[in-house]
């Protein structure tokens, strides 16, 4: 499928919410970095499960239970193929990417991080990739080092090399976002993994923003862990994915204990289940995992390269239009190959929350605030930014509507 306006308009027909009009105005959704909209195929998949084969999984032998189990496990197989993992056993379903990070922090971190050890993060991480490590570091009396970003939001790999050369005996983990949720910057994660592995250091990749937009191959990357969420890639909320190398997952203790993560329970001891079920205690989010299957089918049909090209085209167009407004300040790398379909900006001295409110009057949905990246905001010396983010159903016409609304705000505030 080619990335074109004609195809985009066809795609839009699959998303019921995009037909909405509020106060007579078309709904322009530009907050895809937060969550994406859902196509009918995903919605219908969930409804079909609840309507015709609603059952718990892995536990019963009657027909609809086996049907539900098969559908649930089929999604796991599709996720495995989507990121080119070696085995479905390496795919753990969680509630979200945040839980996936916490799982590793708890189950891997408490076994492997000791007093005086270092964990390497960066200044542009989402809070979900900071706070769990802070808690672990405090508990273990370890330390966190932050890789600095420059004015364009890019990492200085020379600084990382210096850390590795001087502290490699103490560095026990590097955990970085592949794409910044606030700036859209894409970091050279493949180079970083190679650098880390030269010193035997594992790497956790926060792929919440990158996996929905870029072809992801964990075999090629060779990362130890990867986390992402279904809801940012056309799937339902409540489904996160943790990929981990099988040999590492096998050495980790369970994160949550209860039903389905056990083989045997006796008064004095418990035998844990095999992978991946050791990390999936209790009744999971069956319906939404099954719904995610259709989201993966949808993305595969379009093609990840086409998705990437479409977003580059939209981002280039939006940046060109925004550059015509002298009152605007855009953050992040201007090189389109180094950024995703995310643009953070400020318009004069208008507070981002006020701008978002004004744009909402024209039925334009954007994000405003610190984007769960307050360390980054401190680096940028701002309290908040406005953010627009694109996906497969966005169009240049919608960007024009957005730019016109910015013009109205400029006049309203007499900038």
Average pLDDT of the segment spanning 33-55: 98
User: pLDDT band at 262, cuts 50/70/90?
Assistant: confident
Q: What is the pLDDT at residue 169?
A: 78
The rounded mean pLDDT for the chain is: 95
**Span 13-32, pLDDT tens digits:** 999 999 999 889 999 999 99
Q: Is the pLDDT of residue 78 over 50?
A: yes
Average pLDDT of the segment spanning 368-389: 95
Q: Is the pLDDT of residue 1 over 70?
A: no
Residue 63 burial (CB < 10 Å; 0-12/13-18/19+)?
Answer: exposed
Which residue would you say has higher pLDDT here, 321 or 258? 321
What domains does the chain contain, in order, with CATH numbers? Answer: 5-30+303-412 (3.90.1150.10), 44-300 (3.40.640.10)
Q: What is the pLDDT at residue 64?
A: 97
Active-site position among 80, 223, 257, 372: 372
CA-closest candidate to residue 339, choices 211, 190, 187, 185: 185
Q: What is the pLDDT at residue 331?
A: 95
CB 174 within 8 A of CB 331: no
**Span 329-370, pLDDT tens digits:** 999 998 999 999 999 999 999 999 999 999 999 999 999 999
Q: In this structure, how many other beta carbons lie within 10 angstroms of the beta carbon of residue 114?
A: 12
Q: What is the pLDDT at residue 392?
A: 97
CA-closest candidate to residue 170, choices 131, 200, 136, 129: 200
User: pLDDT band at 263, cuts 50/70/90?
Assistant: confident
**Span 210-257, pLDDT tens digits:** 999 999 999 999 999 999 999 999 999 999 999 999 999 999 999 989
Q: What is the pLDDT at residue 306?
A: 95
Q: Taking every pair of C-alpha atoms in the chain, what is the biggest distance, in angstroms? A: 73
**Span 281-296, pLDDT tens digits:** 999 999 999 999 999 9
Any catalytic annotation for residue 80?
no
Average pLDDT of the segment spanning 1-13: 71
Q: Which of 73-77, 151-155, 171-175, 231-235 has the lowest mean pLDDT?
A: 151-155
Q: What is the pLDDT at residue 342?
A: 97
Count the alpha carbons within 13 Å of 49 in the hemisphere toward its beta carbon: 26
How far apart (Å, rounded) are the C-alpha atoms in residues 362 and 354?
A: 13
CA-closest candidate to residue 83, choices 266, 370, 299: 299
Q: Is the pLDDT of residue 5 over 70?
A: no
CB 391 within 8 A of CB 353: no
Average pLDDT of the segment spanning 314-320: 97
Average pLDDT of the segment spanning 314-334: 95
Q: What is the pLDDT at residue 95?
A: 97
CB 348 within 8 A of CB 326: no
């Amino acid at each position: 499928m080619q990335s074109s306006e004609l195809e985009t308009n066809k795609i839009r027909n699959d998303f019921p919410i995009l037909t909405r009009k509020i106060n007579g105005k078309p709904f322009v959704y530009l907050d895809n970095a937060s969550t994406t909209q859902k196509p009918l195929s995903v919605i219908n998949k969930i409804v079909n499960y609840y309507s015709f084969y609603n059952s718990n999984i892995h536990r019963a032998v009657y027909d609809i239970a086996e049907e539900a189990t098969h559908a649930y496990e089929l999604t796991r197989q599709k996720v495995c193929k989507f990121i080119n993992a070696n085995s479905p056993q390496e795919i753990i379903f969680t509630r979200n990417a945040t839980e996936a990070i916490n799982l590793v922090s708890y189950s891997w971190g408490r076994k492997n991080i000791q007093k005086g050890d270092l964990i390497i993060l960066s200044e542009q991480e989402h809070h979900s990739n900071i706070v769990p490590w802070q808690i672990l570091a405090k508990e273990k009396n370890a330390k966190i080092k932050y890789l600095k970003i420059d004015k364009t939001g890019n990492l200085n790999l020379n600084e990382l090399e210096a850390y590795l050369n001087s502290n490699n005996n103490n560095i026990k983990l590097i955990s970085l976002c592949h794409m910044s949720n606030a700036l859209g910057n894409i970091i050279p994660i493949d180079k970083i993994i190679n650098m880390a592995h030269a010193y035997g250091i594992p790497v956790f990749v926060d792929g919440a923003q990158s996996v929905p937009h870029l072809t992801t191959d964990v075999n090629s990357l060779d990362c130890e862990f990867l986390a992402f969420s279904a809801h940012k890639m056309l799937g339902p909320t409540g489904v996160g994915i943790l990929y981990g190398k099988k040999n590492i997952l096998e050495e980790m203790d369970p994160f949550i204990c209860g039903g389905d993560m056990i083989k045997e329970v006796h008064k004095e001891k418990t035998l844990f289940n095999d992978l991946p079920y050791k990390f999936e205690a209790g009744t999971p989010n069956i319906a939404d995992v099954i719904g995610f299957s259709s989201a993966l089918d949808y993305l595969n049909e379009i093609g990840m390269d086409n998705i990437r090209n479409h977003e580059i085209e939209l981002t280039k167009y939006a940046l060109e239009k925004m550059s015509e407004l002298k009152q605007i300040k855009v953050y992040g790398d201007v090189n389109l190959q180094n950024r995703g379909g995310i643009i953070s900006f400020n318009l004069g001295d208008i507070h981002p929350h006020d701008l978002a409110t004004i744009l909402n009057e024209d039925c334009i949905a954007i994000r405003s605030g610190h984007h769960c990246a307050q360390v980054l905001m401190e680096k940028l010396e701002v309290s908040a930014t406005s953010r627009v983010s694109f996906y497969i159903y966005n169009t240049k016409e919608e960007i024009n509507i957005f730019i016109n609304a910015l013009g109205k705000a400029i006049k309203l505030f007499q900038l």
